[in-house]
Amino acid sequence: MKTKITELFGIEHPIIQGGMHYVGFAELAAAVSNAGALGIITALTQPTPGDLASEIARCRKMTDKPFGVNLTFLPSVVQPDYQGYVEAIIEGGVKVVETAGNNPQQWLPLLHEAGVKIIHKCTSVRHAVKAEAIGCDAVSVDGFECGGHPGEDDIPNYILLPRAADELSIPFVASGGIADGRGLVASLAFGAHGINMGTRFIATQEAPVHENVKKSIIAASELDTRLIMRTLRNTERVLNNNAVERVLEIERELGEKITFKDIQSEIAGKYPIILQQGEMEAGPWSCGMVAGLIDDVPKISDLIESIMAQADAIIRNHSAIIAT
Ligand SMILES: Cc1cc2nc3c(=O)[nH]c(=O)nc-3n(C[C@H](O)[C@H](O)[C@H](O)COP(=O)(O)O)c2cc1C
C-alpha cells in the first residue's frame, strides 16, 4: 500500500512503531523495519549519546531498511544531553526522527540540514497545526486511548483524527488504540496516511522485553488501564497494578498540593525493573487500552502481513455492506 507516509519515509507499509522507553531497542526497530514498516529506537533509553550511537550501529547491522529514532522531551529528574543525542542521530546516518513531549523547533534546522525527516507526535489538533507551522514533515496524532502520555484534553481518535485531517496539510498517522487491519482502514477513512502502534508491538516475538510483560498485555482487557499523574498535568496511561493504586491514592489524598517528589519513589527508575526483569508490580508502566484487542504474541513479519491482508480484505469487500 502506497500513501504519503510510505513515500515520505521510503517504507513498504504505512505502519510505524512508536518510540517506547525500555522497549525500543535495536532488536525491535530492526524487526519492524525488516517487515517493511518503520522501526524506531528510543534515544533516552540509552544512558548517553555514545550508547545511542552504538545502538544505531547495532540496528544498522540487523537491517538495511530505513529506521528512525525517538527523541522525547518530557519533564525529567535530570535534563538529558539532547544536543549529544541529536549529533549521534545525524552522525549515525538516521533519516527519520520521531519527536514527542514538547515543541522540537530548536532542533529542526540541524536535523533538516542533515536530511532528517521529522514526525512530531501530538495529542491535540492545535499542537499538530503548530508542528506543521514550524516545519515538521509529518505528525503522529495520538488519541486519548493511547499508551503513554495522552495529554490533558481527553479527545479520542474518533474525533481527533477527522479534526486533524480538516486542519493539516502535511501527512499524518493515527496513533493510539490500533492493533489490526480494522484500525488501519478506519484511520485511513478518517484521513490519516498510516498508523503508529506502541502496545501491539510489545506483545511480539522479537520485542526485547521480559515474557511477563507480554503475558500481562494478553491477560489485560480494555478496562485495565488507569491514568496517573493527572494532578501534575503529566498524565500517563498505564496498566493497573498495586503500585498504580498506591500512586492514585497519593494523588487523591494530596490533590493540587502534590509535587513529583510525593510519588517519585513509586515511579523513578522502575522501567528497567518491570520491562527487562519482569517484576510486574514494581511500578507503573505505559500501556494502551488496545491491550483489550491483543491476544497473541506473533512474529513481527506475521503481524504486519496480517494487518495488511485484513486491511486489504476490508477495503475490497466489507462484510457489513450488503449493497451500495
Ligand atoms: C511501554 C511504553 C513506553 C512508551 N514510551 C514512549 C517514549 O519514551 N516516548 C514516546 O514518545 N512515546 C512513548 N510511548 C508511546 C508510543 O510511542 C505510542 O505513541 C503509543 O503507545 C500509541 O498508543 P498504543 O499503545 O495504543 O498503540 C510509549 C508507549 C508504551 C506502551
Q: What distance in angstroms lies between residue 317's CA and the mean position of ligand 1's atoms?
A: 32
C-alpha 85 to ligand 1 mean position (Å): 19
Q: Would you say residue 322 lies in a domain?
A: no
Same domain, 108 and 227: no
Pocket of ligand 1, beta carbon within 6 A: 18-21, 23, 42, 70, 72, 100, 121, 142, 145-148, 175-178, 196-200, 285-288, 290
| pLDDT at position 242 over 90 | yes
* Rounded CA separation 162/167 (Å): 9
Count: domains in the chain? 2
Give residue 276's pLDDT.
Answer: 98
Contacts of residue 116, defined as CB under 8 A and 6 or more positions apart, other chains included, come to 89, 90, 94, 95, 96, 97
Q: Supply the DSSP string of 155-204, one letter for each residue.
A: --HHHHHHHHHHH-SS-EEEESS--SHHHHHHHHHTT-S-EEESHHHHSS
Distance 237 CA to ligand 1 centre (A): 9
Residue 320 inside a domain? The answer is no
Tell me what the mean pLDDT of segment 75-93 comes to.
92
Same domain, 186 and 255: no
Distance 320 CA to ligand 1 centre (A): 32
Q: Is 321 inside a domain boundary?
A: no
Q: Indicate if 22 and 118 belong to the same structural domain.
A: yes
Residue 85 and residue 183 in one domain: yes
| Residue 323 in domain | no
Do both 122 and 254 map to the same domain? no
All three cell numbers of 11: 517504507
Measured in angstroms, how far is the CA atom of residue 137 from the centroid of ligand 1?
20
What are 254-313's pLDDT values in tens digits?
Answer: 999 999 999 999 999 999 999 999 999 999 999 999 999 999 999 999 999 999 999 999
Tell whether 284 is covered by a domain: yes
Please indicate, yes or no, whether residues 105 and 204 belong to a single structural domain of this protein.
yes
| 324 located within any domain | no
> Sorting pLDDT into bands at 50, 70 and 90, what band is 320?
confident
56 within domain boundaries: yes
Spell out a b/e string for 247-266, using b for 16 or more CB atoms within 10 Å of the CB, else e: bbeebeeeeeebeeebbeeb
What is the predicted pLDDT for the residue at 175? 98
Confidence of residue 7 (pLDDT cuts 50, 70, 90): very high
| Probe target for ligand 1 pocket from 52, 199, 293, 294, with the most ligand atoms within 8 Å of CB | 199
Q: By alpha-carbon position, which residue is closest to atom 19 of ligand 1?
A: 18
Rounded CA-CA distance 241/211 in Å is: 17
The answer to whether position 229 is within a domain reads: yes
Tell me which residue range forms the domain holding 54. Answer: 4-208+296-315
Distance 15 CA to ligand 1 centre (A): 14
Please tell me the residue having the least CA distance from ligand 1 atom 5.
Answer: 20
10: domain CATH number is 3.20.20.70
Confidence at residue 76, expressed as pLDDT on a 0 to 100 scale: 75
Beta 236-239 vs 225-228: how paired, if at all? antiparallel
For residues 16 and 109, state if they share a domain.
Answer: yes
Q: Which of 15, 16, 17, 21 to mutate to test the pocket of ligand 1 (most atoms within 8 A of CB)?
A: 21
Cell numbers found for residue 45: 533509553
Say whether both 241 and 109 belong to one domain. Answer: no
Are both 266 and 228 inside the same structural domain?
yes
Q: Are residues 180 and 240 both part of a single domain?
A: no
pTM over 0.95: yes
Whether the predicted pLDDT of 164 surpasses 80: yes
Please name the residue that has the C-alpha cell 527487562.
276
Judge whether 168 and 190 are in contact, CB under 8 Å: no
On the question of pLDDT at 75 being above 90, the answer is no
User: From the alpha carbon of 200, which atom of ligand 1 is closest?
Assistant: 27
In a shared domain, residues 306 and 285 = no
The per-residue pLDDT for range 85-115, each reduced to its tens digit, is 999 999 999 999 999 999 999 999 999 999 9
Band of the pLDDT at 323, cuts 50, 70, 90?
Answer: confident
Determine the distance separating the centroid of ligand 1 and the alpha carbon of 258, expressed in angstroms.
Answer: 25
Residues 70, 128 share a domain: yes
Residue closest via CA to ligand 1's atom 13 equals: 20
